[in-house]
Amino acid sequence: MPTEITCPEDLDNNDLARLVLDMFHRIIVHYTLWFREVEHQFGFARALEVMGDAHDRSYSIQMDRLGKTLGFEMQNGIPATLGRMSKEELTNLINSIAVNWLANDGVWFQAVEEKRGIFDAKRCNDSCWTRFSPFEAWSIKRFLDFPEEAGLEGLKKALQFRMYARINVQSIKDEGPQSFVFQMNDCRVQSARKRKGLEDYPCKSVGLVEYGTFAEAIDQRIRTECIGCPPDEHPDEWFCAWRFSLDKRESRRD
């Protein structure tokens, strides 16, 4: 940056635009740090509860101010521009966001791997999922207005609203009123490795965390069993498979 630049007003339009994006990034990180500290002080469940209140207040404040500044109107709590998009356009946007999410996950993994090696990258990845998976379940439950104990039918629906559901091909096979099997028939990451002639990525350790915590966050009575997940051998029709069952005798409360 030239030495004559002493404040944002000295920047040209291109650099001012870059600063706008940088400041959005700061908001995202600051928001995350707030959540992390509240979790540290009061626990994960309380942090989600506090974040629910903070999100509702923050969203309204920020969107109203951005609307006035950028000249877009809000309708029914969303930018009117989004509301005027067709279902196909919105679905394509959702799919693009999901792919960006996965790319972001991969970028973080690679960044850690390059600096610390594969072991630390995998360790960080597995630990990250202990937070993201129950958070995503909480977010979906909130979006769909689920009851506290949503049962297996709630879990089936919630699995269709995950980020991964927009990226991979998955299926559900009912086993009766007390259990069902979830299969990941086509995994974007594993299929890419297969095309390159690489072995499956050994994702069982993260899968146990990911699916178990997601299911329990939907309903604490749900138990998760891994039928198979790399490095396990698996048939061609799926990369991983999980059995979810409901224990009606147990309802755990904090």
pLDDT tens for 191-200 read 999 999 999 9
pLDDT tens for 211-250 read 999 999 999 999 999 999 999 999 999 999 999 999 866 5
CA distances from residue 69 to 24, 63, 102, 111 in whole angstroms, order as listed:
15, 10, 31, 36
- In angstroms, the CA 155 to CA 151 distance is 6
- In angstroms, the CA 60 to CA 39 distance is 23
Q: Strand, helix or coil at 146?
A: coil
- Counting every residue written for the chain, the total comes to 254
- In angstroms, the CA 139 to CA 51 distance is 11
DSSP state of 253: -
Cβ-defined contacts of 241-245 (< 8 Å, 24+): 241/181, 241/182, 241/183, 241/184, 242/181, 242/182, 242/207, 242/211, 243/175, 243/179, 243/180, 243/181, 243/182, 244/152, 244/155, 244/179, 244/180, 244/181, 244/182, 244/215, 245/152, 245/178, 245/179
Q: What is the percentage of the chain residues whose pLDDT exceeds 70?
A: 96
Token pair, residue 98, equals: 């999901």
For every residue of 206-221, DSSP letters joined together read HHHHHHHHHHHHH-TT
- In angstroms, the CA 252 to CA 160 distance is 25
Look at the block and give the residue holding tokens 């944002």.
8
Average the pLDDT over 101-114 and give the result: 96
Strands (E), 80-218: 169-174, 179-186
Confidence of residue 5 (pLDDT cuts 50, 70, 90): confident
Res 26 pLDDT > 50: yes
**Residue 238, pLDDT score:** 97
Confidence of residue 118 (pLDDT cuts 50, 70, 90): very high
In this structure, the number of other CB atoms found within 10 A of the CB of residue 55 comes to 14
What domains can you pick out in the chain, each with its CATH number? 1-84 (no CATH), 86-254 (3.30.1380)
Name the pTM for this structure.
0.90
**Residue 57, pLDDT score:** 95
The b-or-e profile of 85-109 (16+ CB within 10 A means b, else e) is eeeeeeeeeeeeebeeebeebeeeb
